[in-house]
Amino acid sequence: MLKIKHVLMCCEPEILEHLFFSCDITKQLWHEMAALLGSNQVNCYEDVARLWLSNTNHAVFNMISCAFLWTMWKFRNDMHFGRVNWSGLQIIWHRLVCLLKRWSVLCPRKRLTQMDNCVTLLENKVQEAPRILLC
C-alpha cells in the first residue's frame, strides 16, 4: 500500500485506505452520504467496487462514489501542495457537488432525474453550519 509521510486532514499517517475509507473525516462523509442517498454504508474499497459490477442498477451511486474518491484525492493534493487549508466538511461537499454537476453529461439519460435529486440533497450539505472535527 502506498504510504505518504505527510499528515493532512487528521493526525493519522496517510495511506490511501485511510484517506479514502478509514479516516474519521472520510468515514463521516461516507456515513452522511449513505444516510442522505439511502445507500449502504461504505467502509472499504470492496463496498464501492462491488457496486461497480452492477452498474446498471447503481449507476448514480457509482458516479457519486467515484466523484467522491476523486474529490478526496484532489483535495488531499491541494492540501499537500499548500493550495488550500482544511476548513471543514463543507469544502468537500462543495467540491463533490461541483464535480458531479460537471460529470452529469456522463450520467445515463434515464438516471438523470435521480442524479439531479442526489445532487440537490448533497447541495444541502454544503449549506450546513461548519462542524469541527478534532483528532
Distances in Å between the alpha carbon of 96 and those of 11, 16, 54, 126?
A: 23, 19, 23, 10
User: Smallest distance, Å, CB 28 to Zn ion?
Assistant: 10
**CA-CA distance, 101 to 79, in Å (whole number)?**
23
- In this complex, which beta carbon is closest to Zn ion, that of residue 106 or of residue 133? 133
Write out the three cell numbers for 81: 501542495
Q: Should residue 92 be labelled a site residue for Zn ion when binding is judged by CB under 5 A?
A: no
Q: Should residue 10 be labelled a site residue for Zn ion when binding is judged by CB under 5 A?
A: yes
User: Smallest distance, Å, CB 52 to Zn ion?
Assistant: 25
**CA-CA distance, 135 to 124, in Å (whole number)?**
26
- In this complex, which beta carbon is closest to Zn ion, that of residue 38 or of residue 130? 130
- In this complex, which beta carbon is closest to Zn ion, that of residue 10 or of residue 36? 10
Residues linked to residue 3 through DSSP beta bridges, in sequence order = 15
Per CB under 5 A, the segment of 15-23, 41-49, 61-69, 99-107 that binds Zn ion is 15-23
- In this complex, which beta carbon is closest to Zn ion, that of residue 7 or of residue 35? 7
Per CB under 5 A, contacts with Zn ion among 20-79 are: 23
Written in H, E and C, the secondary structure of 94-112 is: HHHHHHHHHHHHHCCHHHH
User: Smallest distance, Å, CB 46 to Zn ion?
Assistant: 20
Write out the three cell numbers for 118: 442526489
**CA-CA distance, 56 to 75, in Å (whole number)?**
29
Among 2, 4, 6, 12, binds Zn ion (CB under 5 A): 12
Residues of this chain that interact with Zn ion (CB under 5 A) are: 10, 12, 23
